[in-house]
Amino acid sequence: MLMRILVCAVAFLVVMPVGAQTHSQAQSWRTPWGDPDLQGSWSNATTTPLERPAKYAGREFLTKQEQAAQNTVTAVATDKRDERGTPDDVNGAYNGFWWERGWSDGRTSLIYDPPDGRIPAMTSEGKKRQGQARRSQNEAYRGAGPYNGPEDLELYTRCVVRAALPRVPTGYDNNYEIVQTPGSVAILQEQIHETRIIALDGRPHLDSGVRQWLGDSRGHWEGNTLVVETTNFGDQVTFEGSTPNMRLVERWTRMADDRIDYRFTVEDPATWTRPWSAAIAWTKTGNLYEYACHEDNYGLYGILAGSRAQEKEPGSK
């Protein structure tokens, strides 16, 4: 099993520069109406971290040995078996198989600009804001509580949204479906079954007073690349500490039958001292399935019910 996983991992390709796509290949990925064809089911899973770990400072790529070692760690964590009948066989194996972390893409970070692979320094305003957000949300998420009502839990635990845009890979369900029609591109996110509908007809953005969880996206083609600008984010969701005025530009370029080069650039002068960019391969995957989350959300129910029960215990506040 482990060997099979490793063979898959070796087959995973390093993200190629966009310029590597040949003209004739690009011609074959066309919709019947002549647009570049990005349609299909895609996964952005990868274990390559967003930011470059300190131990790889100054290096953009892993050695082959380092990449193989990282993939072995992933494979073992996903198929956490030991000798039959031992505690280690049961402990973890039952809950490890459904992780879908992907593999190392051979780079040391998804961020390629700035060249140090790290999120640029925060502005003092950004630091102050992030400190407050950490106290109010992340600590609660890590089990500190208190959980007086649903608002004290993370948006994901509440099944409102999985994460802010732009989407970076997580442990599982990194799946997207792209469907195109003349004048529009739709991107369905498996988590949490939302669709981004991106108009290509040049219409202006929504009024700045209309804020949405996933913002408001407008797109156009630059050669074979879909370029999408998203604004109008709300104030309850943040990407790495961003404000609702973050400007997000994303690019999708078909590189192979089974691969899209996806890049994003975020800019938010109230948060970071400069814009920054990352590249993530989207690879072909199987069908998307319904990720019903809020329906019978026993986890959230249990957390709140448990907190109320604890308060009734003698000696509790």
Partner 1 sequence: MRRCLDVASSAAVVSILAVTAAAQAPTYKAARLAGTDRPNLHGLWQALTEANWDIQAHAAQPGPPQFGALYAEPAGPGIVEGNEIPYQPWAMAKKKENFEKRLTRVNTDGVRLEPLDPEAKCYLPGVPRANYMPFPFEIIQGDKKILVAYEFASASRLITLDKAEPAPVESYMGWSNGQWDGDTLVVDVTGLNDKTWFDRAGNFHSDALHVVERWTPAGPDVLQYEATIEDPKVFTRPWKMSFPLYRRLDRNAQFLEFKCVPFSEELVYGHLRKQTGK
Q: Give, as one character, the DSSP assignment of residue 274.
A: S
Task: Give the pairing type, strands 247-256 and 40-43.
Answer: unpaired
Residue reference for tokens 């019947």: 32
- For residue 182, state whether it binds partner 1 (rule: CB under 8 A): yes
- For residue 183, state whether it binds partner 1 (rule: CB under 8 A): yes
Please give the structure tokens belonging to residue 56. 């790889």
The single residue among 9, 192, 260, 278 that binds partner 1, judged by CB under 8 A, is: 192
> What's the gap between Cα 156 and its chain centre?
13
User: Residue 251 is which amino acid?
Assistant: R
DSSP track, 158-197: TTS-S-PSSP---SS--EEEEEEETTEEEEEETTTTEEEE
- For residue 87, state whether it binds partner 1 (rule: CB under 8 A): no
Binding part of the chain for partner 1, among 9-17, 118-126, 272-280, 287-295 by CB under 8 A, reads 287-295
- We find the least distance from the C-beta atom of residue 304 to partner 1, in angstroms, to be 4
Q: Is the Cβ of residue 84 or residue 298 nearer to partner 1 in the bound state?
A: 298
Q: How far apart are CA 50 and CA 48, in angstroms?
A: 7
- For residue 284, state whether it binds partner 1 (rule: CB under 8 A): no
**Largest Cα–Cα distance of the chain, in whole Å?**
74
- We find the least distance from the C-beta atom of residue 257 to partner 1, in angstroms, to be 14
- For residue 88, state whether it binds partner 1 (rule: CB under 8 A): no
Cβ burial of 158 (10 Å; 0-12, 13-18, 19+) is middle
> Of all helices (H) and strands (E), which one includes residue 72?
helix 64-78
- For residue 213, state whether it binds partner 1 (rule: CB under 8 A): yes
- For residue 98, state whether it binds partner 1 (rule: CB under 8 A): no
- We find the least distance from the C-beta atom of residue 201 to partner 1, in angstroms, to be 11
- For residue 311, state whether it binds partner 1 (rule: CB under 8 A): yes
Mapping DSSP to helix (H, G, I), strand (E, B) and coil, where does residue 251 land? strand
- For residue 12, state whether it binds partner 1 (rule: CB under 8 A): no
Q: Is the Cβ of residue 111 or residue 187 nearer to partner 1 in the bound state?
A: 187
**Are 182 and 35 within 8 A, CB to CB?**
yes
Note the residues at the interface with partner 1 (CB under 8 A): 31-34, 39-40, 146, 148-151, 158-161, 177, 179-186, 188, 192-195, 197, 199, 203, 206, 210, 212-214, 287-290, 292, 294-295, 300-301, 304-305, 307-308, 311
